[in-house]
Amino acid sequence: MKPSIPRGTRDFGPQEMTRRNYIFDTIRDVFKLHGYLQIETPAMENLSTLTGKYGEEGDQLLFKILNSRLHESKEKENLQKAFDKTLQSATNTDVLTERALRYDLTVPFARYVVMHQNDMTFPFKRYQIQNVWRADKPQKGRYREFYQCDADVIGSTSLLNEIDLLLIIDEVFGKLGLGVTIKLNNRKVLAGIAELIDAQDKIIDITVAIDKLDKIGEQKVLEELFAKGLSNEAIEKLKPIIFIQGNNESKLESLQKIIANDIGQKGIEELKYIVEKVGPMLSSNCKIETDITLARGLNYYTGAIIEVKVNDSRSEFTSSICGGGRYDDLTGIFGLANMSGVGISFGADRIYDVLMEANLFPNDVEFNTQVLFVNFGEAEQQYCLTLIKQLHSANISAVMFPEQAKMKKQMGYADANKIPFVALIGSQELQDQTITIKQMSTGNQQCIAKSELVNFILKS
RNA sequence: GUGGUUGUAGCUCAGUUGGUUAGAGCAUCAGAUUGUGAUUCUGAGGGUCGUGGGUUCGAGACCCAUCUCCCACCCCA
């Protein structure tokens, strides 16, 4: 049988894992620095936990798990009916499918908060680094199994949380050495726009359409809005809003004049507050840009909407590498009201692709083992093991070649694994209680006393 | 899910209008060198040409299906 893995999934070799861990470690360190606590949730959730949270499209992208032992079921007629139904429509009954792989980390977190609310103190800051699955058609930068690195604050409506998260974004990409632009919008502004043109029921259609402005241009967006049933009058009212230009400040001021309803004004105020506070604190490699065409399809956002794009001459990457927003009532459906949260999610796999493209992985992340002990035979092995134990105690990574192979083989192993030092201990060294140590980068070697080993490596 | 595209050794790729036994470089392994890697020389292993059908005297090449890769749409980390 020919081995293969499912479409859109990948194996990761040692070098890839070293680089992936560099990303995870960087993000994790910043999360911890900001006081977030780690949790994990199961790979699978009950299907009912996930359905309806991600919009119609999201429901289609859930990996559903077929119930087990269907062939032993006593209700095969019901099963047959349920199956016929799934062939007709997108909905599943739990007779056939009661579980699904998680689609993101935010909804499982909301479920977690409701289930464990009595064991938590609010506001609760949590981080979570786990993989998620989407039954999307794979493309570059789009995988069916990928990692998200989430930080969320739940139980606080303060905009200081938004600011905290934006600073995290700045710090993470600063540490990774990547230039980015944070795009910021607010769902209340979008709601205000919908109210202004008297089309509250079409808010999702409107946001999806104007989100495409960059991609398909003005004319096509207006055509799409018309096709979605907006009147010409409404579209005329919409035009000056969509095409607002200028810097953050002037854009928001113009909006403030046009969108004269409560919810719109509230959204603009929130945007202003965040931009004014956080703008001066961001590093030069991290720009912030208010963008009312930024929609994001997730149904549950109610306030801030955040998206991060690469803004770096070394990369052509256009997909977003981080996203997030505020959700006022995600826990409500699980029975816990008045629990507002806000969070962001780093797409580790896309960040990996960008860092590869921009050549931003540090070289030294590839090194691990410091010293290889050549294996000359049984008498020498014991001596080496003792020395290796000493090195390990000093937190220096060292190994002995497990076979008594030819020197060429053993030296080649050190070379292939980029091990910087090779320790040679044969009968002569054994007798003299010394170590011949070779530095692979220069080819130089010298003989040192056994007791000098740890210091020698530490100094090098 | 819709439309398009790709697939030959572990990797990067040749392979003529369809014609003997499918090649190269790199990598791997072995030897030159039984205590010295990355450079040199010699040799070896490695392929059901993505898979399954079809056309043909004959298919890596042509046709169909299917899987995979990549691209656009949709959507998104």
What is the tens place of the pLDDT at every residue in A210-258? Answer: 777 777 777 778 888 888 888 888 888 888 887 788 888 888 998 999 8
CATH number of this structure's domain A14-62+103-189+277-357: 3.30.930.10
> What is the DSSP secondary structure assignment for residue A117, as one 8-state letter?
G
CB distance A120 to A361 below 8 Å: no
**pLDDT computed for residue A421 by the predictor:** 94
What is the tens place of the pLDDT at every residue in A176-222? Answer: 999 999 999 999 998 898 898 888 878 778 877 877 777 777 777 88
Start-end of H helices in A279-433? 348-357, 378-393, 407-416, 427-432
pTM of the predicted protein model: 0.91
Q: How far apart are CA A350 and CA A320, in angstroms?
A: 8
**pLDDT computed for residue A78 by the predictor:** 87
Q: How far apart are CA A296 and CA A199, in angstroms?
A: 19
A415 touches strand B (CB under 7 A): yes
What is the tens place of the pLDDT at every residue in A341-377? Answer: 999 999 999 999 999 888 888 876 556 789 999 999 8
Measured in angstroms, what separates residue A11's CA from nucleotide B16's C1'? 39
A3 touches strand B (CB under 7 A): no
What is the tens place of the pLDDT at every residue in A46-75? Answer: 999 999 888 888 888 999 998 988 888 888
Angle subtended at Cα A385 by Cα A382 and Cα A388, rounded to the nearest 5 degrees: 155
Bond before A123 cis per omega within 30 degrees: yes
Identical fold between A14-62+103-189+277-357 and A367-459 = no
Adjacent-strand bridge partners of A436: A424, A447
Q: Which of residues 47-76 of A touch strand B (CB under 7 A)?
A: 55, 57-58, 61
Collect all residues with Cβ–Cβ distance below 8 Å to A409 and sequence separation of at least 6.
A403
Measured in angstroms, what separates residue A448's CA from nucleotide B29's C1'? 35
Q: How far apart are CA A45 and CA A62, in angstroms?
A: 11
Which nucleotide's C1' is closest to A349 (Cα)? Answer: B77
**pLDDT computed for residue A352 by the predictor:** 92
Which nucleotide's C1' is closest to A298 (Cα)? Answer: B76
What is the tens place of the pLDDT at every residue in A291-337? Answer: 888 877 667 899 999 999 999 988 888 889 999 999 999 999 999 99
**pLDDT computed for residue A274 by the predictor:** 97
CB atoms within 10 A of CB A361: 18
Measured in angstroms, what separates residue A418's CA from nucleotide B26's C1'? 19
Amino acid at residue number A184: L
Two structure tokens written together for A88: 């007709």
**Strand B positions within 7 A of protein Cβ atoms:** 1-3, 28-31, 33-38, 48, 50-51, 67-77
User: A365-375 b/e with 16+ CB inside 10 Å = b?
Assistant: eeeeebbbbbb
ipTM, two decimals: 0.84
Two structure tokens written together for A147: 């990692």
CA-wise closest residue to A305 among A333, A276, A270, A347: A270
A345 touches strand B (CB under 7 A): yes
CB distance A301 to A327 below 8 Å: yes
Which nucleotide's C1' is closest to A9 (Cα)? Answer: B68
Domain residue extents for chain A? 14-62+103-189+277-357, 367-459
CATH number of this structure's domain A367-459: 3.40.50.800
For the segment A406-411, the average pLDDT, to the nearest whole number, is: 90
A393 touches strand B (CB under 7 A): no
A288 touches strand B (CB under 7 A): no
Measured in angstroms, what separates residue A8's CA from nucleotide B50's C1'? 17
